[in-house]
Structure 1
């Protein structure tokens, strides 16, 4: 399962905090897939096959700090363990255009990840792509920063890192040991 963390699509789709959903929509488009709303999972879903691996895609359509409800609903329904889920999310610690694959547990202060680890109630390693969005100058501006639209230059850099993440995703699915 691959999840792109997000806030509700209509209001927040173009904001920095939703780069996880941008990733999912770009991945789905590259496989000619369309995401459809599935209310029972509180989000938009699709599926695809990569090298005989059947992959479920999910973009939660609820607020970031409760994304874990959506992830848990879908994972439980399809009997998918947390360590079988790739989570894609924005990261303040990385500059736009940067991306890092991480395999560990924890949330590093990200509210969406915090909610997922709390709901799954497991300290278990899982894969995640951290897509850089940069950081505002003042700490008290973080909330408004992540909920704002990036500049055109930042969008280009973020889209480049999303494409890099998709290429690495294909490698990860085909040969996990070659990428970690």
Structure 2
């Protein structure tokens, strides 16, 4: 069994923002496997389905980004899902808009959602799918304002194809393993 979670913030005002790209990824995966992610449980919206013959729990934590780990901890404990079977989709400002990078483990890289997950799981060995949202051109621009801002039309042209690929990325990780998925997808533009 796998837990596939997307990071974001629950209020409508955060919809379609850079920081909520993880929620958007889960919505696209759910659409592909005909799954509703609406059941409120474990501080998350949850749905269940199958990818590559494996049962998956799709989750959108409702704890706000900085406390995402509370939801991931509760879900993984209840379903007895090991960190190596947890896939987290999240935004990454260090990647150009529309690029992705997969990682099998590692530090939080300054991302508060990942920091919370590492703290709550007492492990950094969960799988990450980083979706590039770019960085502000003006280095003096407030980073929080940037990630909580909406995508431009030009950004959306690069982001939508990535979101459409999220199911295939998940399927590749589950079916072929993280190393093969990294070889196939790291740095790829869609």
Q: Deviations over 1:109-161 (max 9, x none)?
A: 00000000011122x42211000100012255110000011112212211212
Gaps of 5+ in 1: none
Separation in 1, partners of 2:11, 2:5 = 14
Which stretches of structure 1, 4 residues or longer, exceed 4 Å deviation after superposition? none
8 Å CA contact 2:32–2:167 kept in 1: the answer is no
Give the SS at the match of 2:75.
helix
Give the SS at the match of 1:2.
strand
**Correspondences of 1:121-160 after superposition (within 5 Å):** 121-122=122-123, 124-136=124-136, 137-160=138-161
Q: Which of the numbers 22, 25, 29 marks the counterpart of 1:23?
A: 25
TM-score, reference length from structure 2: 0.88
8 Å CA contact 1:31–1:48 kept in 2: the answer is yes
Separation in 1, partners of 2:180, 2:165 = 16
1:110 aligns to 2:78 (yes or no): no
1:165 aligns to 2:171 (yes or no): no
Give the SS at the match of 1:49.
strand
8 Å CA contact 1:99–1:165 kept in 2: the answer is no
Give the SS at the match of 1:179.
helix
Give the SS at the match of 1:69.
helix
Separation in 1, partners of 2:110, 2:51 = 32
Look up the match of 2:175: 174
Give the SS at the match of 2:142.
helix
8 Å CA contact 2:6–2:88 kept in 1: the answer is yes
Separation in 2, partners of 1:27, 1:166 = 5
Number of residue pairs the alignment of both structures matches: 178
Look up the match of 1:75: 76
> Please, what is the CA RMSD of the aligned residues?
1.4
Give the SS at the match of 2:35.
coil
Look up the match of 1:87: 88
Separation in 1, partners of 2:88, 2:121 = 14
Separation in 1, partners of 2:175, 2:78 = 25
What is the CA distance between 1:166 and its match in structure 2?
A: 2.5
Separation in 2, partners of 1:150, 1:50 = 29
Gaps of 5+ in 2: 183-190
Rate the CA distance shift 1:22–1:44 in 2: closer, same or farther, 3 A: same
1:46 aligns to 2:39 (yes or no): no
